[in-house]
């Protein structure tokens, strides 16, 4: 049996329009369309296996038009997970990629909010589910908070790279007003004082739930008399890797306070005892606004492009207030105290992804990142590895997230830091090959942690690591 036939018999083939065929195998180390070669040439089998496992994960986690992040641990549709997972689907089946976004936007609220979780089907394995977000009498179909708005970035990518142009234009036309309504909601509900940057009212909204960036602001939230509850996450993942009870009590306190006013977006900003300017949300939103403006131009919607331009301009100058020159990176801010947070986290590099950093800020960020990378075996740690309370295995307090590596790499490349981008890419690839497709990884040992067979990690393998898909059209300013 020749090597090609042998590989074909070991690697399960998934029947999609871009499945690997025998004739692809000789070129797999330099995958079709690759801009940068990140897959080691001598290791074709591992590369192939990684791709096929990634496809299988998406297929296994597909619940009919939407993808759950991981079985058991996260049994519903999550907002930014889905937008990132759609990039993975696009490499297998463009129609399915568009469907992922359609399902997400099917839960959009009248005021424009796109919820952080959509409860399409009941599940006993996650807390807090619909009965907590709503009430026993009136369960809700979603949570009443949001997450970093990746969707417009995905829509542009899907549209620009589409093979089926007709479908892409149709889907763009359908999704555009919904994206616009969500981005307008960010302006009105989360920046009612017109500062240029939006507020995040719950750590779950930031996507980096128990990042040390929230410690001070979260511990200022008084714990209310909340109904007793049983956490489900600890049944799936070791408690040493998850948020602590004191943090969960505050997550729940915020939830019940928001629920008490029926998640009224006109009130939440003013009543929430937790209100921060989150770098992740603002960087993703900034980038998403660049892409929304591009999409508006594409559709000939000049007035809307101008409106979005206004948001971009305001945010650009406001971003400078988050730059910590001494620390060599950006920091989130506690809006209620007016102070920049002390923690240096991986979100501090995301203004590169946004393209909002200046050339000299980008140079500082690259230098800081290099220092961080030299301190760990596998980058990028979610928290400064030089910090005394760095925890390589606890949620967002040290571990590596592949989606964040993708965003930062994309930014590095846009600013011309190609070598650093390649270093992170190669490192990420090595992590996945050696430790599998998990939720996150220990930056010191590389050990996989959190949920297993994780959708957005699989999607990044398909959409990024197999293609070297870093350079995107939005140029650094
Ligand atoms: O910990 C949790 O229960 C949930 C709460 O939303 O959050 C984690 O999982 C989500 C699904 O993957 C991600 O979207 C978040 O970024 C991540 O922090």
pLDDT digits (tens, 9 = 90+) for 88-141: 999 999 999 999 999 999 999 999 999 999 999 999 999 999 999 997 776 789
Residue 118 main-chain phi, psi, to 5 deg: -110, 125
Q: Is a pLDDT exceeding 70 seen at residue 214?
A: yes
| Distance (Å) of CA 82 to CA 149, 165, 336, 407, 475 | 11, 22, 31, 15, 25
Q: Is a pLDDT exceeding 60 seen at residue 276?
A: yes
Indicate the pTM of the whole model: 0.90
Q: What is the pLDDT of residue 7?
A: 26
| Percentage with pLDDT > 70 across the chain | 88
Closest atom of ligand 1 relative to the 243 alpha carbon = 1
Residue 371 to residue 56: CA distance in whole angstroms = 36
Q: What is the pLDDT of residue 317?
A: 95
Q: Is a pLDDT exceeding 60 seen at residue 8?
A: no
For ligand 1, atom 4, the nearest C-alpha belongs to: 204
Q: What is the pLDDT of residue 17?
A: 36
Q: Is a pLDDT exceeding 90 seen at residue 472?
A: no
For ligand 1, atom 5, the nearest C-alpha belongs to: 204
Q: Is a pLDDT exceeding 70 seen at residue 21?
A: no
Helix (H, G, I), strand (E, B) or coil at 448: strand
Tokens for 114? 């796109």
Spacing, Cα 3 to ligand 1 middle (Å): 41
Which residues are paired to 277 by β-bridges? 333
What string of H, E and C letters represents the secondary structure of 370-429? Answer: HHHHHHCCCCCECECCCCCCCCCCCCCCCCECHHHHHHHHHHHHHCCCHHHHHHHHHHHH
Q: What is the pLDDT of residue 44?
A: 65
- Mutate which of 57, 146, 207 to test ligand 1's pocket (most atoms within 8 Å of Cβ)? 207
Lowest mean pLDDT of 1-10, 183-192, 268-277, name the range.
1-10
Residue 304 to residue 150: CA distance in whole angstroms = 19
Closest atom of ligand 1 relative to the 79 alpha carbon = 14
Q: What is the pLDDT of residue 11?
A: 29
Q: Residues lining ligand 1, CB < 6 A? A: 69, 74, 78, 80-81, 116, 204, 207, 209, 233
Closest atom of ligand 1 relative to the 70 alpha carbon = 12
Give the CA diameter of the chain.
69
Q: What is the pLDDT of residue 239?
A: 85
Q: Is a pLDDT exceeding 60 seen at residue 372?
A: yes
Q: How many residues are given for the chain?
A: 477
Which residues form the catalytic set? 209, 439
């Amino acid at each position: 049996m020749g090597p090609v036939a042998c590989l074909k018999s070991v690697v399960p083939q998934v029947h999609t329009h871009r499945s690997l065929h025998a004739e692809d195998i000789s070129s797999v180390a330099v995958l079709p369309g690759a801009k940068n070669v990140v897959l080691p040439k001598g290791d074709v089998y591992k590369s192939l296996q990684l791709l096929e496992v990634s496809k299988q994960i998406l297929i296994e986690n597909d619940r009919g038009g939407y993808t759950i992040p991981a079985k058991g641990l996260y049994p519903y549709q999550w907002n930014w997970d889905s937008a990132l997972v759609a990039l993975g689907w696009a490499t297998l089946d463009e129609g399915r990629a568009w469907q992922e976004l359609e399902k997400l936007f099917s839960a959009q609220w009248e005021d424009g909010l796109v919820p952080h979780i959509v409860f399409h089907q009941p599940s006993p394995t996650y807390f807090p589910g619909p009965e907590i977000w709503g009430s026993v009498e009136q369960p809700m179909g979603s949570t009443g908070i949001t997450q970093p708005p990746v969707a417009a970035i995905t829509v542009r990518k899907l549209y620009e790279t589409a093979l089926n142009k007709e479908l892409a234009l149709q889907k763009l036309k359908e999704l555009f007003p919904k994206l616009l309504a969500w981005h307008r909601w960010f302006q009105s509900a989360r920046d009612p004082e017109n500062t240029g940057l939006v507020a995040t009212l719950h750590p779950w909204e930031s996507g980096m739930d128990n990042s040390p960036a929230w410690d001070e602001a979260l511990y200022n939230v008084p714990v209310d008399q909340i109904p007793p509850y049983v956490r489900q996450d600890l049944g799936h993942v070791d408690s040493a890797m998850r948020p602590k009870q004191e943090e969960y009590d505050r997550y729940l306190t915020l939830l019940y306070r928001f629920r008490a006013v029926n998640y009224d977006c006109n009130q939440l900003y003013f009543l929430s005892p937790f209100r921060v300017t989150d770098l992740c949300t603002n960087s993703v939103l900034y980038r998403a606004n660049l892409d929304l403006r591009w999409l508006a131009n594409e559709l000939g919607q000049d007035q809307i492009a101008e409106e979005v331009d206004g948001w971009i301009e305001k945010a650009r100058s406001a971003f400078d207030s988050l730059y910590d020159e001494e620390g060599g990176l950006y920091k989130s801010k506690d809006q209620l105290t007016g102070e920049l947070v002390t923690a240096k986290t991986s979100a501090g590099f995301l203004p590169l992804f946004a393209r909002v950093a200046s050339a000299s800020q980008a140079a500082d960020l690259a230098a800081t990142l290099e220092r961080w990378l030299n301190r760990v075996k596998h980058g990028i740690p979610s928290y400064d590895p030089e910090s005394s309370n760095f925890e390589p295995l606890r949620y967002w307090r040290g571990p590596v997230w592949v989606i964040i590596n993708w965003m930062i790499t994309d930014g590095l490349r846009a600013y011309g830091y190609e070598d650093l981008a390649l270093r992170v890419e190669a490192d990420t690839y090595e992590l996945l090959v050696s430790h599998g497709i998990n939720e996150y990884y220990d930056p010191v040992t590389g050990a996989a942690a959190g949920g297993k067979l994780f959708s957005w990690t699989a999607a990044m393998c398909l959409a990024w690591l197999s293609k070297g898909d870093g350079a995107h059209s939005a140029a650094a300013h």
